């Protein structure tokens, strides 16, 4: 039996202090599972239960042992961008180390408590100044991590623009990823996935284009640096049906420098990507989908045997010859009758 748990069990179960010295056999304890008694508790458990189509992912925002003024502003701005679906804790957390073994225990506890599957953890040190750790969880356990440094931060308040253009809370955004690094560099590919999960909001099947009022522009400058800019969309007359679109910087904007990243384990990734049988669509034969052309189908036509095909009509030339021959025969018969 684990020696660290023996004194704890002796205190909880009411045994004497000398009890743990005489333990030689393992002790099995039955834990009682409490069922919710109130309707409110039942509704909360139903909300957290797994669903075929999950709602938007909630984000947990946490502070580390030490944070700078810049980092505090960054965490506040991210909270405002996701205010409809985020939880922010302002208390310092000394025992959270996402990349170290055992340092993710408190983080997973907070994820379970708040029912958040995304988290943003900010810390500041001499070795890693203005440090952000963005991660995802699966079943409230760490799935993957990306550590980035913040440089050249520009807040919303420092941007001058018409306040009528300010994006609405909860609106769906556009994403623009510029640069070959998002397709070739492993770190930037991972950062792209995490940023999409962080800011895309709830997944919907239909979308009204008139409600799109913002765009996140991410430009890959080098193999580990990305320029992140948040812009509002301004629609102007163009003389055609399609309006002219202009981008107005509304903030925040910052340079993201990738420092470390950790990909998920293959077993965990395979389990997380499982699709329920109810959502699996039956495969359509001879039908494929293309990103540009859409739905493409193949039609198989059997070989036509033109030589043996029966014609629907007789050529007119043959009919005319038959009529002429028939007319000549009748004239001969008529002439013979007259001679008789």
User: 61 forms bridges with which residues in the sheet?
Assistant: 88, 120
Residue-level pLDDT at 138: 92
Residue-level pLDDT at 213: 87
Tell me the CB-side half-sphere exposure of residue 97, using CA atoms within 13 A.
Answer: 6
Are 172 and 211 spatial neighbours (Cβ–Cβ below 8 Å)?
A: yes
As given in the structure block, the two tokens for residue 148 are: 């980035």
Are 147 and 132 spatial neighbours (Cβ–Cβ below 8 Å)?
A: yes
Residue-level pLDDT at 318: 61
Q: Is the pTM of this model over 0.75?
A: no
Residue-level pLDDT at 8: 46
Residue-level pLDDT at 339: 58
The list of the chain residues with pLDDT below 50 reads: 1-5, 8-9, 11-13, 15-17, 19-23
**What percentage of residues in the chain have a pLDDT greater than 70?**
83
Structural domains of the chain, ranges and CATH numbers in brackets: 1-28 (no CATH), 55-270 (3.40.50.10480)
What three-state secondary structure class fits 336? helix
**What tens digit of pLDDT does each residue of 245-301 get?**
889 999 899 999 999 999 998 988 999 888 888 888 888 888 888 877 788 888 888
Are 216 and 173 spatial neighbours (Cβ–Cβ below 8 Å)?
A: yes
Cα gap 255→296, rounded to integer Å: 42
Residue-level pLDDT at 33: 65
Are 190 and 224 spatial neighbours (Cβ–Cβ below 8 Å)?
A: no
Cα gap 312→145, rounded to integer Å: 73
**What tens digit of pLDDT does each residue of 194-203 get?**
999 999 888 7
As given in the structure block, the two tokens for residue 131 are: 């440090």
As given in the structure block, the two tokens for residue 288 are: 């494929």
């Amino acid at each position: 039996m684990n020696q660290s748990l023996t004194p704890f069990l002796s205190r909880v179960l009411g045994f004497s202090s000398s009890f743990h010295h005489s333990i030689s056999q393992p002790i099995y304890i039955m834990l009682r599972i409490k069922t919710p008694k109130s309707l409110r508790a039942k509704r909360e458990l139903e909300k957290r239960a797994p669903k075929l189509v999950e709602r938007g992912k909630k984000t947990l925002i946490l502070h580390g042992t030490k944070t700078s003024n810049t980092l505090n502003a960054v965490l506040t701005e991210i909270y405002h961008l996701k205010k409809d679906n985020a939880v922010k804790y302002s208390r310092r957390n000394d025992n959270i180390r996402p990349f170290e073994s055992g340092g993710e225990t408190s983080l997973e506890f907070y994820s379970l408590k708040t029912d958040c599957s995304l988290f943003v953890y900010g810390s500041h040190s001499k070795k890693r100044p203005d440090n952000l750790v963005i991660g995802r969880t699966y079943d409230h356990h760490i799935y993957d991590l990306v550590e980035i440094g913040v440089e050249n931060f520009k807040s919303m308040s420092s941007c001058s623009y018409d306040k009528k253009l300010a994006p609405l809370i909860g609106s769906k955004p556009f994403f623009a990823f510029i640069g070959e690094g998002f397709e070739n560099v492993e770190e930037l590919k991972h950062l792209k996935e995490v940023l999409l999960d962080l800011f895309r909001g709830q997944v919907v099947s239909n979308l009204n284009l008139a409600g799109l009022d913002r765009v996140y522009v991410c430009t890959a400058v080098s193999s580990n640096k990305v320029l992140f800019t948040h812009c509002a969309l301004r629609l102007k007359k163009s003389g055609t049906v399609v309006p002219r679109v202009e981008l107005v910087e509304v903030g925040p904007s910052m340079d993201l420098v990738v420092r470390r990243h950790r990909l998920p384990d293959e077993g965990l990734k395979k389990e997380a990507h499982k699709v329920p049988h109810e959502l699996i669509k039956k495969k359509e034969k001879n039908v494929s989908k293309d990103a540009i052309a859409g739905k493409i189908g193949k039609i198989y036509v059997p070989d036509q045997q033109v030589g043996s095909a029966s014609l629907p009509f007789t050529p007119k030339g043959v009919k005319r010859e038959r009529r002429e021959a028939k007319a000549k025969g009748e004239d001969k018969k008529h002439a013979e009758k007259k001679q008789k």
